Structure 1
């Protein structure tokens, strides 16, 4: 008779946040996310494919973002929250500028130009949380 141990894994289920309406997502909400991130306003503009002056105009007018920009901001917020929790704010800032082996020499920041790249970096952070480097 063969006996094997039973591994019990904890499954974390994150409660799905309801996406805000486009009209409800103002610069104020964006600013709360941006304040906890390692990105400058100019870097945020690049990540959202807009001009930094547009972000300043959004701040001045109190106007909102379009749906695609909101989706990207919320995805980046997920990345920021995971990174800050795992590395700490300053450690995450340093890691964002690094070139981890598991990204084949590409910098983390370079991966954030596409939706898929952001998801890949989030997946990498989850693997690192569990001690899997590659």
Structure 2
């Protein structure tokens, strides 16, 4: 049996390096997205079930129900799941580690109106905005 951390890295390796609509749509309609994808987010970040369920606009109970065999995500949850995993991959690339990216997500930032970037991850637009900031950082803007 594959350990959780190893499984998370395998899931992450399947994600594009940047948010790209055509790649996200392809994954959305060609992959069977199950709990291992959600579990990868839980393994790659130190965020609680409460925070993660907030990102998906679902209750903690619903998040935990997805663990059950045979459960399937709604399309909007699948889309956010893919976007978040791609964002984590991108952020890890920019910061060099999951821990450093996780810390950045939790730190108030000027470019986010002194809010933590993680507070923007509950919408597709917010995920894209955080991703755009990461891209700007790759080119020397913002820390």
TM-score by length of 2: 0.73
* Residues matched between the structures, number: 122
Runs of 4+, deviation exceeding 4 Å: none
Q: 1:36 aligns with which of 44, 62, 67?
A: 44
Give structure 2 stretches of 5+ with no counterpart.
1-17
**Partner Cα separation in structure 2 for residue 25 and residue 56 of structure 1:** 15
**Partner Cα separation in structure 1 for residue 114 and residue 101 of structure 2:** 18
Give structure 1 stretches of 5+ with no counterpart.
1-11
**Partner Cα separation in structure 1 for residue 41 and residue 122 of structure 2:** 18
- 2:88 is matched with which residue? 80
Q: 2:60 matched to 1:52?
A: yes
Q: Which has the higher contact order (CA 8 A, sep 6+)?
A: 2
- 1:112 is matched with which residue? 121
**Partner Cα separation in structure 1 for residue 49 and residue 113 of structure 2:** 28
Q: 1:127 to 1:39 in 2, by over 3 A?
A: same
Decide which moves more: 33-42 or 59-68: 33-42
Q: 2:138 aligns with which of 94, 107, 129?
A: 129
Q: CA deviation at 1:16?
A: 2.5
Q: Which has the larger radius of gyration?
A: 1
**Partner Cα separation in structure 1 for residue 103 and residue 75 of structure 2:** 30
Q: 1:16 aligns with which of 23, 34, 44?
A: 23
Q: 1:45 to 1:24 in 2, by over 3 A?
A: same
Q: CA deviation at 1:23?
A: 8.3
Q: Which has more helix, going by share of residues?
A: 2
Q: 2:99 matched to 1:100?
A: no
